[in-house]
C-alpha cells in the first residue's frame, strides 16, 4: 500500500503516520525527518537544507525527489510506505508518479488532513519530543504523566525543532497554501483523494483514517 498524508504543518501527519506504520506494517517516509537527519550529520545536503528550513521555505524539488527516490529503492519499503511531507509541489507529485510507474506501482490513497490555520500556530509552537526515543508531547495538549519525564522511555531530555517558532510557522503555512494545496485537485481528479477532519482528537483522526482505508 502506498499512502500520502497531505496537510499543513501541524495537521498531525507525523503522529498519524507513526500509528499507521505500527498497525499496517508500512514504513513512514518523512522528508522533514530525513532533512533533519542530514542537518544533524552536517552533510552537504543538510547544510543547504538548514538555511531554507529555518526560513520556513521549501527545499528544492531536485533534492527532495532524489532523497525519496533513493529511499524507495531500499528493501524495507517493499511492503508499502506512508509518505509524510512529500510531495509538496506539483513538480514533486509528477516525479513521484514517474518513480512509481517505473517500479510498476501506483498510489492507493491520498489522505487530506483538513485543519484551520488558526489552531496550527499553537499546535506547532507548543510541541516537543523526547531526545532519547522521539515520543511527541505538547505544552497544552499532551503532557507527560510526570513532568519532565518521558512516558515511553523515562528520558528526561526533550528537544524542540528550530523551525517550530511562530515567525517560521507563518512562512510554512504560506508555502503550504501556495505550493502544496494545489495538489488536492490534482489527486481529486485521479479519484484517490480522501479527506478527514484533522481538528478532532488524535484517536478520532486515527479512526477516520482507518475508516477511509477500508474503502480502498
Which residues here bind ligand AMP, judged by CB under 6 A? 9, 31-32, 35, 52-53, 56-59, 64, 85-86, 88, 92, 163, 172
Angle at 70 (CA atoms; ends 65, 74), nearest 5 degrees:
140
Bridge partner residues of 193 (DSSP): 110
Which residue do the cell numbers 499507521 mark? 20
d(CA 152, CA 145): 10
* CB 58 to ligand AMP: min, Å: 4
Closest residue by beta carbon to ligand AMP:
32
Closer to ligand AMP by Cβ: residue 86 or 196: 86
Handedness of CA 111, 19, 119, 155 (dihedral sign): negative
CB neighbour list of residue 166: distance below 8 Å, 6 or more residues apart: 121, 125
* CB 158 to ligand AMP: min, Å: 17
* CB 90 to ligand AMP: min, Å: 12
* CB 86 to ligand AMP: min, Å: 4
Determine whether 188 is an active site residue: no
Closer to ligand AMP by Cβ: residue 62 or 207: 62
* CB 55 to ligand AMP: min, Å: 8
Determine whether 19 is an active site residue: no
Determine whether 71 is an active site residue: no
The residue from 13, 19, 36, 50 that is catalytic is 13
Closer to ligand AMP by Cβ: residue 57 or 212: 57
The residue from 48, 55, 71, 161 that is catalytic is 161
Is the Cβ–Cβ distance between 176 and 121 less than 8 Å?
no
Bridge partner residues of 110 (DSSP): 4, 193
Closer to ligand AMP by Cβ: residue 5 or 26: 5
What is the helix (H) or strand (E) element at residue 65, kind and residue range?
helix 61-72
Cell of 188: 481529486
Cis peptide bond upstream of 155, omega within 30: no
The residue from 50, 88, 123, 194 that is catalytic is 88
Is the Cβ–Cβ distance between 140 and 126 less than 8 Å?
yes
Determine whether 127 is an active site residue: yes
Closer to ligand AMP by Cβ: residue 163 or 209: 163
Active site residues: 13, 88, 127, 161, 172
Amino acid at each position: 500500500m502506498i499512502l500520502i498524508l497531505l496537510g499543513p504543518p501541524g495537521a498531525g501527519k507525523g503522529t498519524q503516520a507513526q500509528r499507521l506504520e505500527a498497525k499496517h506494517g508500512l514504513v513512514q517516509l518523512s522528508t522533514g525527518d530525513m532533512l533533519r537527519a542530514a542537518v544533524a550529520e552536517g552533510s552537504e545536503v543538510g547544510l543547504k537544507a538548514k538555511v531554507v528550513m529555518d526560513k520556513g521555505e521549501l527545499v528544492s524539488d531536485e533534492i527532495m525527489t532524489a532523497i525519496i527516490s533513493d529511499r524507495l529503492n531500499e528493501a524495507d519499503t517493499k511492503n508499502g510506505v506512508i509518505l509524510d511531507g512529500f510531495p509538496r509541489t506539483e513538480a514533486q507529485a509528477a516525479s513521484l508518479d514517474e518513480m512509481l510507474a517505473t517500479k510498476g506501482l501506483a498510489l492507493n490513497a491520498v489522505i487530506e488532513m483538513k485543519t484551520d490555520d488558526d489552531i496550527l500556530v499553537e499546535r506547532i509552537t507548543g510541541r516537543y519530543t523526547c531526545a532519547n526515543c522521539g515520543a511527541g508531547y505538547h505544552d497544552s495538549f499532551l503532557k507527560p504523566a510526570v513532568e519532565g519525564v518521558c512516558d515511553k522511555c523515562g528520558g528526561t531530555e526533550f528537544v524542540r525543532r528550530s523551525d517550530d517558532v511562530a515567525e517560521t510557522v507563518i512562512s510554512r503555512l504560506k508555502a503550504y497554501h501556495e505550493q502544496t494545496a494545489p495538489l488536492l485537485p490534482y489527486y481529486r481528479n485521479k479519484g484517490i483523494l480522501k479527506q478527514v477532519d484533522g481538528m478532532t482528537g488524535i484517536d478520532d483522526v486515527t479512526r477516520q483514517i482507518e475508516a477511509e482505508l477500508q474503502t480502498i
